[in-house]
Structures are given as structure tokens and as C-alpha cells.
Amino acid sequence: MKPQKLKLSDYLLGFGFVLLMVGIATVLNDVEIILPEIAALTTGLWIYHEPGWLNQPAKIFWLPSITAIVGFGINRLPLSYAVKISLLLLIMIVLLCLFRSTLAPSFATGLLPIIVNATELSFIIAILGFTLTLMLVVSLRKLHLQHPYHATINYRVMLVFLIIALLWVLVVSLLGRPQMAAIPPVLVVFFEILQKPMYPGKMAIKQMVALTGAATIGFVAYSLLDSRLLVTLIALPLVWALLYLLQVRIPAAYAFPLLAIILPHQMFQSLPLVTLLATSYFLGAAYLYQQYIKPRLISR
């Protein structure tokens, strides 16, 4: 599917908002203010106008905020990294079912405080402030009225997501690589794919290339430039160019440059490789489920 033609003003507004976030973090010298999934949410809401994300504006603010607070709390518990990730995934699935929402970026905002070991109150303040701004702009521009959409909750999909994600956490932990347990943009895309009626192999390959390419752009940019603001300024247009060439729309891909600049050193060094492995596993699993498993379940 070719991307729709979008307004330049939407891109400028969205990218400007993300740059503002990184700029504030730079001025305050507080890396916990940089929230990669805000880039994905901004792109999906203000630029791509994703109907499934816009349908209930209030949830744009409080659902990611709740999951971020839950993740922030879990990170303070005396548990292993893998157990924290597993517990958070379980709680987030329950929350999405309870609140009848398919806002996939909520996974990323919940996982982030564990991945970067967020400990400062500024993290929570930033989540509340930036998600509130996103919601207000959506409401003021009436984007949710222009793109009506009724979210339906497929509990089977929720269970499939949880099983496949927990299996990944178990495998990487047994291999002694628990830091590979959660790559938020990949999990967001995986969750959205499971919601779709079909998933062609060609699209799976494009998305693997796009996500791995976006991670590589962030990795290379931050390796060469010792400036988070400059990396963001350069990397975001490069991600846009990559997605344009591949003819795909993946809001979560825009989170990778910001993720690269805040990851702990060990995770940063392996980001492109880990992203390739994670996309191969999750998107491959999504393809197998959509092509072979789901049709059999439906036919019963």
C-alpha cells in the first residue's frame, strides 16, 4: 500500500515537536525527558492520522501515561530484567483489554523506564506533558472526527501477542542476552500486525528492512555525531526517506533515532543486530500466524 500524500505542514509540525522535546532535554541536561515513542505517536497522530490511534482522544493522554507509570514502578522492584519485562507485558495486555484500546505505543511507553532504568520524576512529568499536548492538538484539530474508527478488541490476538512475546523473553534470557528482551518499536509493529486481517510476505520483508534500517540510521548517526539534537535533526528525515523508498508507513520507525541516543552503551552497540533478530522473529511469527494459524482457527 502506497503512503497517502501528506501535508508538508504536518511533517514540520510533527518533527518540530520532537525536536522541541530533545531540545528541552538538552537544555536541562536530562536524558530521561527524551521519549522515543513520542516520536512514533506524533507521526501516527499528527502526520499519518492513524484512525485506530485517533478514535478516542482522551486515551492518547492517559493510557500511555498509565503504562509509563506502571513501568516506572516495576523498574524499582527487586526483580531481574527479564521478569520486569514479562510482568509489564502481562499488565499492559490486561490494561488494553480493560480499557478496550488498541493504542500500540502504550507498550513502548511502559517498557521505556525499564529499558533505560528511568529513576527521575522528570520522566513521569515529561510523559504527562507531551501526551497531553498530543491529545490537545488532536482534539483542537478535530482529527478524531475526520478519521472515525471503532476499535474492536480481539482477545485471541492479545493472547497470541503475549505468548510470542514471552517466549522471546525466555529464549534471549536463556541465551544470556536479557537486554534483547524488548525493542519497543518492534513490539508496537508486531502488535499492530496481529490486528490486521492479512499480512503478505512482501510487506513483512519491507517492514523488516524499514525497522532495521531505521535502527541503523540512529546507530550510525549517534556514533558519528556527539549531539542528541543534531542526531534527531538529521536522522528523522533519513527515516522518512527510507520509508518513502520502501512505500510503507510505520510510525514506530521514527522512534529508533531517539531510542539510539538514550540506550545504555551495551544495548546501543548491538542495536542494529538486535533489531534485525527481533524483527525476523516477531514479523516472521506474525506472518506464520496470519497465513497458517489464524485461518485454521477461524474455520473451526
23 touches 35 (CB < 8 A): no
Going by C-alpha positions, the residue among 20, 176, 153 that lies closest to residue 95 is 153
Indicate the length of the chain as a whole number: 300
Burial of 164 (0-12, 13-18, 19+ CB in 10 A): middle
37 touches 108 (CB < 8 A): yes
45 touches 138 (CB < 8 A): yes
This prediction has a pTM of: 0.93
Each residue's pLDDT, cut to its tens digit, for the chain (300 residues) gives: 344 456 788 899 999 999 999 999 999 999 999 999 999 999 999 999 888 888 888 999 999 999 999 999 999 999 999 999 999 999 999 999 998 888 889 989 999 999 999 999 999 999 999 999 999 999 998 887 776 666 678 889 999 999 999 999 999 999 999 989 999 999 999 999 998 889 999 999 999 999 999 999 999 999 999 899 999 999 999 999 999 999 999 999 999 999 999 999 889 999 999 999 999 999 999 999 999 888 877 766
